[in-house]
Structure 1
Amino acid sequence: MKWTNCFSNKRFGVDFKNRGPRTEYERDYDRLIFSSAFRRLQNKTQVFPLPKDIFVHNRLTHSLEVVSVGRSLGKIVGSELYKLPEINENEEARKFYRNHLKNVIGSACLAHDMGNPAFGHSGENAISKYFNEREDDDEFRKLFSDEQWEDLTNFEGNANALRLLTKQLNNRLEGGYRLTYSTLVSILKYPCESLAVNEKKGKHRSKFGFFNDDIDTFKKIAKEVNLIKEQDKPLVYSRHPFVYLVEAADDICYNIIDFEDAHRLGILTTKEVESNFLNLIKLNKDEDIDNIKRTLKILKKDPNEKIAYLRAKAINFLTIEASKVFIKNRDLIIKGEYKSSLIKDIKEAQPIIKKIKNTSIKKLYNHYSVVKIELAGFNIMSGLIEDFVEALLINKDDRKKRHHKILSLIPEQYRFNEKQSTYSKIMCVLDFMSGMTDLFALQLYKNIKGIEIPRI
């Protein structure tokens, strides 16, 4: 892999190029932002339940903010890489890094959470639980290969994002969203199959990035952008350079903005959040701290605006520093030998970031409102997966009327063919379930269980 051959404006699933005023990378962004899957993120919880009287982030607003940071990272890094002799001497590469890298990172940031099911990690855990609890059922277990079983017992939203963007659904066009290979590879934080997961082998193997059903899709992407293969069995590749920028944008946003949300909800005090943000900002040698203090005095009667101001400054600092880390480690990154993360390698900021993370775990992510929605989401998704999988496992001729009715609730684009393997059928059901919003999953659960009669 080289800086001059690690990108491609070819589209997955199609051989032709569009013509018009927009670049291929701008088209990626537009396709994603107008998609139904992206709109559904507005009803998927980020961390906190969505209160009626106070605005906090959902998956959609989080994704848009990650885009803003990611685009900045792409622009800064692209401007620096553009100066490298090997890039400057290559016209296509020169144009890409100067003009298009920021758009690729922006599009990938839009898509990075699109594969998450309703209720986030609780939804993932609920799907996995159903299959884990049947591990001792030998007849059931024999229906799946080791790779397929690992997929199902460790359902992964990151792998599902790739599937969502590339799978040809019933009555839909080949290639899914038909995004460029550059955008698709930028979301592959974990370029390995499920059997290769081993956190001790590196962060890129702490989870998996594609299901066994989508392995050919992954291989096509890897080949097009010259991804570096580490081993064949189980299949593992090194991360693509652009992944580090998308990951950094996500890390920056959820660390900083979750803190701001907790302040708005009264979980953290103004003093506590202000102190942590200021300590980060003070690390920026180019920042005028006296001017910041004057601004804080002006905003002292509006705590939310004060914290919003500091949040912006903190994000700006981390964005600039993450860019510097990328450029500093560019040779390791392009060789596939960089095994850390950009945020982790902002060394001077680590004590403060760790304090923010520890406070978040203690006071935010274990807050009673968060725990309640996690438990509720887990039970809702558990109930749904049990009903749908139970119905599909029964031979068509042996299904009772209620089984047929359950399966009839699956939209046409997700319906399976009876001749498909059990694994493929289940993946079709998971395609449907992972696309649900929190509210849709809740309502469907209540209707199916007879808790609430649906209105016509």
Structure 2
Amino acid sequence: MAMTWDNCFSSKRFGIDNASRDTRSDFERDWDRLIFSSPFRRLQNKTQVFPLPEEIFVHNRLTHSLEVASVGRSLGGLVGEKIAGLPEVKANAHAATFYASDLKYVIAAACLAHDMGNPAFGHSGEEAISKYFKKRDTTKEEDLTFKQLFSPEEWKDLITFEGNANALRILTMKQQGRMKGGFRLTYSTLGSIIKYPCAALASLKKGPIHRKKYGYFKIDEEVFLEIATELNMIREDGQAETIVYKRHPFVFLVEAADDICYSIIDFEDAHRLGILSYDEVRDSFLSIISSDPATNMDSVKRVADDLQGDANESIAYLRAKSIGTLIQKATAAFWNNREAILAGTFEKSLADAIPELEAPLEKVASISRQKIYNARKVVELEIAGFRIMSGLVEDFVTAALTPGDQREKEHQKILELLPSQYEFDESGSPYRKVMHILDFISGMTDVYALKLYRKLRGIEM
């Protein structure tokens, strides 16, 4: 069945047949389930870019996710209103209502969830989790024997741990003592977070946008296929051996909301921390705002200058104007490319589909790479986080994969630290045991990971 605007959404919930009804729409309930969840709350103690304890005003993953959700809600509302006006959608009352009233809730909920699979200490945490397995990806006899414990698909998951795939796992897996279906979100919300709808072995760093990373672990393959089927996602031609689908259209809106926020917000945080000057940030934001010919730039500059007595407030004003401009531009980019997006042939992000913003956004990205992501405190955090996370993985995975009758007392004690929902079946495969360990470690906050690492190393009692 071909994907259309009428059949690419679903209010059905993963893991449940009959949902109860109340005054909220199914898609509003997705938002509420996420907001009140423990994995979402833990984002408040996960690094976004800058170390957490120093500045209460810089963003962590929770505040970032809330802001992305706000932008996503605006994008969903603007795009949904346009799609609702299409003749083929207007002819279907159910579809017209969804786009006019509910798409904004789907995108907002997906934005809330988009970073829930990211481990502690920023993006270095992902690589750190894989370090143990990468170190064992050698031609040594003992490492070859170890590698043979896993299938090629499973091994690829382990040597390239992916936060996007982990988010899908967190939202859908049944933990020990928990309900089937995980969060039991609607298929529409789940489909909206799968940026890379392919298996790990199909991912290509220099490939098309939907294959630059991967979207699900081998252990969750059936879950992914169920979502793809329910939403009528398009399977890529010529991919018989590995699973590859084209992105769901809603993914582009979630991605745009994230792109808008991190590119702009990192600049604001860097200004607060004294990494970037007022003029540097002001000029970059003004170059974005000026891309909209309808904007009265004289008025914008006057307000910014009037607020300069409080430089942070002046930058906050320009940040808000920049985000507003980017929302309008991303909406137009989606609408202008809607047919290619629906057909699965659109091969760039919405941010990259705005020609007039190519130079201003590249300047922002260049300054970010040079001055923000290479700032001393950021690099120090990444190095520390890398060692902490890779050390925890080595401790727990070694204990888990040591046969029960060969475990030393230290191994037994380490495994006793696993919370009950992450305990594994001793008769299960090595891959399933490892995934239970990674479920535990990837969910840790910066603070918890640091404390546990210190205790296991005898640094703290």
Q: Could you tell me the TM-score, scaled by structure 2's length? A: 0.97
The one-character-per-residue Cα deviations of 1:279-313 (angstroms, maximum 9, x if unpaired) are 11111122121221221232021100000000000
8 Å Cα contact 1:54-1:265 kept in structure 2 = no
1:107-142 CA distances to partner (integer Å, 9 max, x unpaired)? 000000000011122111111111011112111011
Q: How much does 1:53 deviate?
A: 4.6
**Which shifted more, 129-138 or 107-116?**
129-138
Deviates more, 1:44-53 or 1:422-431: 44-53
The letter for the 1-side match of 2:80 is: G
Native 8 Å contact 1:280 1:352 kept in 2: yes
Tell me the equivalent position of 2:165: 159
Alignment partner for residue 130 of structure 2, among 118, 128, 131?
Answer: 128
Are 2:338 and 1:361 aligned?
no
What is the match of residue 77 of structure 1? 79
Q: Deviations over 1:303-324 (max 9, x none)?
A: 0000000000000000000000
CA deviation string 1:232-277 (max 9, x = no partner): 3211000000000000000000000000000000000000000010
Report the counterpart of residue 179 of structure 1 in structure 2.
185
2:441 is the alignment partner of 1:433: yes
SS in 2 for 1:75: helix
* Secondary structure of the structure 1 residue equivalent to 2:323: helix
Runs of 5+ unmatched residues, structure 2: none
Are residue 341 (structure 1) and residue 343 (structure 2) matched?
Answer: no
SS at match of 1:236: coil
- Structure 2 CA distance for aligned equivalents of residues 365 and 450 of structure 1: 32
Alignment of 1:16 with 2:24, yes or no, is no
Matches of 1:296 and 1:105, distance apart in 2: 31
Equivalent pairs counted in the alignment come to 453
Matches within 5 A, 1:78-117: 78-117=80-119
Q: Does residue 285 of the first structure (1) align with residue 293 of the second (2)? A: yes
* Residue type of the alignment partner of 1:203: I
> Equivalent residue for 1:411?
419
Counterpart contact for 2:130–2:390, Cα < 8 Å: no
State the alpha-carbon separation in 2 of the partners of residues 201 and 267 from structure 1: 34
How far apart are residue 401 of structure 1 and its match? 1.3
What is the DSSP-based 3-state SS (H/G/I as helix, E as strand, rest coil) of the residue aligned with 1:425? helix
Give the whole-Å Cα distance in 2 for the aligned partners of 1:452 and 1:199.
Answer: 40
Letter in 1 for 2:134: N
- Partner residue, 1:208: 214
Question: Residues of 1 paired with 2:205 and 2:20: CA distance?
Answer: 41
In structure 2, what residue type is equivalent to 1:13?
G
- Alignment pair present for 1:375 and 2:378: no
The answer as to whether partners of 1:281 and 1:314 remain within 8 angstroms in 2 is: yes
One of 262, 266, 282 as aligned partner of 1:274? 282
Distance in structure 2 (CA, Å) of the matches to 1:124 and 1:297: 42
> Which of 227, 239, 243 is 2:247 aligned to?
239
Counterpart of 2:255, as a letter, is E
1:201 and 1:385 mapped to 2: Cα distance? 30
User: What is the Cα deviation at residue 100 of structure 1?
Assistant: 0.2
Quick check: 49-58 or 371-380, which moved more? 49-58
Deviations 1:327-373 (A, max 9, x none): 00000111111111100011101101000000000000000000000
Distance 2:105 2:134 in 1: 40
For 1:191, the equivalent position in structure 2 comes to: 197
User: Aligned to 1:140, which of 140, 146, 166?
Assistant: 146
User: Which SS does the other structure have where 1:385 is aligned?
Assistant: helix
Task: Find the aligned partners of 2:102 and 2:90 in 1 and give their Cα distance.
Answer: 15
Aligned equivalents of 1:250, 1:408: Cα separation in 2 = 38
Q: Quick check: 1:328 aligned with 2:336?
A: yes
Tell me whether 1:313 sits opposite 2:321 in the alignment: yes
Could you tell me how far apart the structure 2 residues matched to 1:95 and 1:413 are?
A: 39
- Please give the alpha-carbon distance, in whole angstroms, between the structure 1 residues aligned to 2:77 and 2:335: 12
The one-letter amino acid of 1:277's match is F
CA distance in 2, matches of 1:72, 1:221: 25
Q: Which amino acid aligns with 1:142?
A: Q
**Is 195-204 or 161-170 further displaced after alignment?**
195-204
Query: Does the 8 A contact of 1:228 with 1:237 survive in 2?
Result: yes
Conservation of the 8 A alpha-carbon contact between 1:44 and 1:438: yes
Change (3 A) 1:305 1:413: same
Q: Secondary structure at the match of 1:221?
A: helix
CA-CA distance at 1:201 after TM superposition: 2.9
3-state DSSP of counterpart to 1:386? helix
Spell out structure 1 runs of 4+ moving beyond 6 A: none
Q: 2-side partners of 1:410 and 1:294: how far apart? A: 57
Q: TM-score, normalised by structure 1?
A: 0.98
Q: Secondary structure at the match of 1:271?
A: helix
Partner of 1:257: 265
Provide closer, same or farther for how the CA distance between residues 149 and 53 of structure 1 changes in structure 2, counting only shifts above 3 A: closer
Give 1:55's aligned amino acid.
Answer: F
C-alpha distance after superposition, 1:380-419 (max 9, x if no partner): 0111001101101111121111111100101000110001
Unmatched segments (≥5 aa) in structure 1: none
Q: 2 CA distance for matches of 1:244 and 1:18?
A: 30
1: CA distance, partners of 2:110 / 2:401: 36
Deviation at 1:51, TM superposition (A): 4.0
